[in-house]
């Protein structure tokens, strides 16, 4: 109903050519003639109702005005100056801006998003934001996305339209002091705020801080995975010579693991999905490799290795190719079934998966089939909160007994 009302009154508003407005403030601010009414009571009512919702959501008190852009180019702005004691500033919506938005698809949703962007500036002012111009704008885009995510059930068309609206206000004028971000940065800031709203158990203050962290990371749509410090990085930061750390640490760790292990394995892996908890994204089927070492006991084995899976995530806004890598630790125990040929050794066990931002447990069930001396064919299924995978690969026994045992026999 709001959308229909907006389309109806704005069409009448355009036709009246703005000449009837009597509530006029004799000032021109930011290239606008400032007025207290659009001149259309129905439109005023819609916008003031939206104002109340935004004030409650962002925890601010705003004076709302309307302006006629002298440049005849759509504009809206926030100003920290206002006349009342408990006011946090004023928001001015341009009449040409509303006219431009009314001619686009999902026009009312676009208008609410722009409206929310200006109220986000009011929240920044209230809590003493000190970032640069670009950061303030992207942060306001993020909070506008958060507002829409929390307060509306947008369909796919409306999300795309609003994403495009923010992207259209980006530029590549990097040397301009009022540079607000590239099209990608602006659209992504809105989208990430919208996604954050869908996490649940968050409020606008959480989003305020989350938005600051997002925009200062300078990582549009979180498409680049942050680099984490490795143990060698930590040694270097502690003052150790990097060459010595690499040589001594690498030889000691890798050499010890190889020396105490019996087998090496490599398995092509088909994954039936992965849930990225950090970014709240469900990735569909993926393919990759699992490889590592095994310590063989009498009737059991301990595996430790790496699992790398490539996934592709697609939505109407962008395509994201993502590789997930995590460490596996599996304990497997042999089990015997009367109906299984003696040549095949069945097993079951538990697995632990440790990723960059995730931890999971899984159950493993599979079987070995001896091929030739030292080589076994390995087939298994693994299911857990991070994994739903089929593995088919090779296990190679590179040492049947330890080197020190061989020396004793000599």
Q: What is the 3-state secondary structure (H, E, C) of 261-301?
A: CCEEEEEEEEECCEEECCCCEEECCEEEEEEEEEEECCCEE
> In 3D, which of 23, 108, 105, 7 has the Cα closest to residue 64?
23
Q: Is residue 227, in this structure, part of any structural domain at all? A: no
Quote the domain boundaries for residue 269.
Answer: 262-409
Which residues neighbour 350 within 8 Å (Cβ) at sequence distance 6 or greater?
330, 331, 361, 362, 363, 364
| DSSP one-letter code for 367 | E
Question: Residues 283, 250: one domain?
Answer: no
Contact between 168 and 160 (Cβ < 8 Å): no
Residue where one domain finishes, among candidates 192, 222, 252: 222
Q: Are residues 210 and 357 in the same domain?
A: no
Domain boundary among 222, 245, 280: 222
User: Among 214, 242, 260, where does a domain finish?
Assistant: 260
Query: Same structural domain for residues 135 and 12?
Result: yes
Closest alpha carbon to 77 in 64, 86, 87, 88: 64
DSSP result, 203-252: -HHHHHHHHHHHHHTT-GGG-SPPPPPPHHHHHHHTT--HHHIIIIIHHH
Same domain? For 59 and 85 the reply is yes
Instruction: Look at residue 246 in the predicted model and tell me its pLDDT.
Output: 52
Q: What would the two tokens of residue 220 be?
A: 């549009």
Count of CB atoms situated within 10 Å of the CB of 250: 12
User: Buried b / exposed e across 275-293, counting CB within 10 Å, b at 16+?
Assistant: ebeebebebeebebbbebb
- pLDDT tens digits in sequence order for the chain, 410 residues long: 445 445 444 544 444 444 333 333 334 456 677 788 877 888 888 888 889 999 999 999 988 888 777 766 667 888 888 777 778 888 888 877 787 777 777 778 888 888 899 999 999 888 887 667 788 889 999 999 999 888 877 777 777 777 878 777 766 655 555 666 788 888 888 888 988 888 878 899 999 999 988 888 877 776 554 444 444 444 433 444 444 545 566 666 777 777 778 899 999 999 987 665 555 556 678 889 999 999 988 899 999 999 888 877 654 444 556 677 888 899 999 998 888 888 899 999 999 988 766 788 999 999 999 998 889 999 999 998 878 899 999 999 988 775 555 555 55
Q: Which of 235, 271, 226 is nearest to 381 (CA)?
A: 271
Half-sphere exposure of 265 (CA within 13 A, CB side): 32
pLDDT of 172 reads 64
> Which pLDDT does position 226 carry in this prediction?
45
Beta-carbon neighbour count of residue 312 at 10 Å?
Answer: 12
Q: Are residues 120 and 181 in the same domain?
A: yes
Chain position carrying tokens 């890598």: 325
Asked whether 124 and 134 are in contact (CB, 8 A), the reply is: no
Tally of domains within the chain? 3
In a domain, 103, yes or no: yes
392 plus 248 within the same structural domain = no
Rounded Cα distance between 366 and 390, Å, is 10
One domain for residues 162 and 242: no
Look up the CATH number of the domain holding residue 330. Answer: 2.40.160.20
Same domain, 241 and 354: no
The answer to whether the pTM exceeds 0.85 is: no
DSSP string over 165-191: HHHHT----TTSTT----HHHHHHHHH
Q: What would the two tokens of residue 137 be? A: 């704008």
Residue 190 lies in a domain: yes
Q: What are phi and psi of 369, to 5 degrees?
A: -130, 110
pLDDT for 86 equals 79
Q: Are residues 241 and 340 in the same domain?
A: no
Same-domain status, 188 and 317: no
Instruction: Looking at the structure, tell me whether residues 135 and 54 fall in a common domain.
Output: yes
pLDDT for position 14? 42
Please report the pLDDT score of residue 154 as a whole number: 75
d(CA 122, CA 115): 11
Eight-class DSSP state of 344? S
């Amino acid at each position: 109903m709001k959308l229909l009302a907006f389309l109806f009154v704005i069409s009448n508003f355009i036709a009246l050519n703005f000449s009837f407005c009597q509530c006029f403030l004799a000032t021109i601010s930011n290239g606008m003639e400032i007025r207290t009414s659009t001149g259309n009571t129905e439109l005023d009512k819609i916008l003031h109702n939206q104002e109340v919702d935004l004030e409650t959501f962002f925890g601010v008190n705003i004076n709302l005005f309307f302006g006629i852009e002298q440049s005849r180019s759509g504009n809206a702005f926030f100003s920290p100056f206002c006349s009342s004691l408990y006011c946090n500033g004023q928001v001015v919506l341009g009449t040409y801006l509303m006219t431009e938005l009314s001619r686009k698809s999902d026009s009312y949703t676009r208008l609410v998003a722009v409206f929310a962007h200006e109220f986000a500036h009011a929240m920044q002012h209230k809590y003493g934001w000190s970032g640069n111009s670009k950061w303030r704008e992207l942060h306001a885009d993020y909070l506008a996305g958060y507002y829409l995510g929390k307060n509306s059930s947008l369909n796919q068309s409306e999300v795309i339209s609003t994403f495009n609206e923010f992207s259209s206000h980006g530029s590549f004028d990097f040397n301009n002091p009022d540079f607000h971000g590239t099209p990608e940065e602006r659209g992504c800031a809105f989208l990430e705020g919208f996604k954050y709203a869908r996490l649940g158990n968050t409020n606008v203050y959480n989003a305020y801080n989350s938005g600051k962290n997002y925009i200062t990371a300078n990582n549009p749509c979180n498409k680049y995975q942050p680099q984490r410090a490795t143990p060698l990085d930590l040694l270097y930061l502690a003052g150790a010579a990097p060459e010595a750390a690499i040589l001594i640490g690498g030889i000691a760790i890798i050499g010890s693991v190889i020396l105490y292990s019996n087998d090496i394995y490599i398995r092509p892996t088909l994954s039936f999905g992965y849930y990225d908890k950090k970014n709240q994204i469900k990735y569909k089927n993926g393919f990759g490799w699992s490889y590592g070492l095994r310590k063989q006991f009498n009737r059991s084995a301990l595996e430790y290795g790496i699992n790398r899976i490539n996934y592709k995530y697609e939505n109407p806004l962008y395509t994201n190719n993502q590789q997930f890598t995590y460490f596996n630790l599996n304990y497997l125990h042999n089990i015997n079934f009367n109906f299984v040929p003696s040549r095949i050794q069945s097993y079951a066990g538990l697995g632990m998966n440790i990723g960059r931002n995730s931890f999971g447990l899984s159950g493993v069930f599979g079987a070995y089939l001896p091929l030739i001396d030292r080589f076994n064919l390995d087939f298994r299924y693994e299911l857990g909160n991070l994994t739903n995978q089929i593995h088919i690969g090779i296990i190679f026994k590179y040492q049947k007994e330890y080197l020190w045992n061989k020396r004793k026999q000599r």
